Amino acid sequence: MRRQKYWWTGIVTALVAIVVGCTTQPNPSGTPTSPATDNGEQVVNLYSSRHYDTDRSLYDNFTEQTGITVNLVEAKGDELIERIKSEGANSPADVYITVDAGMLWRAQEAEVLQPIASEVLDDKVPEYLRDPEGHWFGLSKRARVIVYNTETVSPDELSTYEDLADPKWQGRLIVRSSNNIYNQSLVGSILAANGEEATEEWVKGIVENFARPPEGNDTAQIRAVADGVADVALANSYYMARLANSSDPEERSIAEKVDMFFPNQDDRGTHVNISGIGVAANAPHRENAIQFIEYLVSPEAQVIFAKGNNEFPVVDGVDLDNPYLEKYAAFKEDTLNAAVFGKNNAEALKIMDRAGWK
């Protein structure tokens, strides 16, 4: 059924593109404008690289409250950026959503996002989780944590990301590959904190401590630590929460063998990344797009992010309705602006390549 829905969505999006191409005219400032409706229907066209079924409830709730239909197009973050670029001024895209600040930075650099002003967003989304110029805003947070085997590692042995390069962890650490943008963003944050030379030495130490060459996603790293392949791994917090909250007894048993440690609590705090969103550069339904983004930072929507995909909310004071996350919610997080480690992405990848992080 899900494939069928997206097939129909593709048809709707194609029709929207035709309508926009026929009706959009440039205004004196050069910014395309168009009616807020398509054939009398209020719409917002969403290009998303978030492949989570639970997000559908967010879109359905928004439509129920506003009467605005959400037309969904899904693909990888880079693919959607290229698609918006190729569609040009007649792109039907109103909103772009993705799962990493590095990808949001790429979208901004590719000039497929436009800045917006919203008192609602400025009030609810902390400064370090949004672009200073309003091109994008964080919607949910995921911490990059150390996952450890509770039988072989005591939390007293853990402290910082930097400590993972110590020889005491030789042959005990696993992590996914350097082409994963979550790792690139982490290295970008360390680059901001410690500078290029120290960061390169750290990455070399990380590589030397690998228990095996990088393979698999974050869930694969957690499974391997539970199975004793390694003692520690780096992973996003929501993967751990997903296993712990799973209806599958086997997955819950994996979570019972490991735990999360939040690094750097005595200094800058744990690195957090975001799922984030921005208004497309030539959005034909700009006001609907802004209304949609403002809805996604409402308490109701923030609870769905926390409960549905085990992510931390970006808005303070939201009831997580997720006991596993609530246990860890008070951690100290690094308040480095997400735009900084997004900007550092290219340099971070060069450092990882030089150090041999495959």
C-alpha 19 chain-centroid distance: 31
* pTM for this prediction: 0.84
Q: 249-257 vs 237-244: helix axis angle to the nearest 10?
A: 130
Nearest to 46 by CA among 9, 94, 110: 94
User: How far is CA 165 from each of CA 127, 199, 206, 234, rounded to the nearest angstrom?
Assistant: 31, 10, 5, 12
Whether the Cβ atoms of residue 271 and residue 186 lie closer than 8 Å to each other = yes
Tell me the per-residue pLDDT of 332-344, one tens digit each, with 9 for 90 and over. 999 999 999 988 9
What is the spatial distance between Cα 173 and Cα 211, in angstroms, rounded to a whole number? 5
pLDDT value for 240 = 96
What is the spatial distance between Cα 138 and Cα 86, in angstroms, rounded to a whole number? 26
Phi-psi region of 177 (alpha: psi -120 to 50; beta: other; left: phi over 0): beta
* Host H or E run for residue 138: strand 137-149
DSSP type of residue 166: S
User: How far is CA 324 from each of CA 52, 67, 77, 241, 244, rounded to the nearest angstrom?
Assistant: 19, 34, 29, 6, 7
Q: Which residues contact 95 (CB under 8 A, 6 or more apart)?
A: 44, 45, 46, 47, 277, 278, 279, 280, 283, 289, 292, 293
Tell me the per-residue pLDDT of 271-317, one tens digit each, with 9 for 90 and over. 999 999 999 999 999 999 999 999 999 999 999 998 888 999 999 98
pLDDT value for 32 = 35
Q: Which residues contact 63 (CB under 8 A, 6 or more apart)?
A: 69, 70
Please name each of the domains of the chain with its CATH number: 2-140+273-320 (3.40.190.10), 142-270+332-355 (3.40.190.10)
Q: Among 167-176, 200-209, 262-271, 321-330, where is mean pLDDT lowest?
A: 321-330
Tell me the per-residue pLDDT of 201-231, one tens digit each, with 9 for 90 and over. 999 999 999 999 999 999 999 999 999 999 9
Q: Which residues contact 305 (CB under 8 A, 6 or more apart)?
A: 58, 139, 140, 275, 311, 313
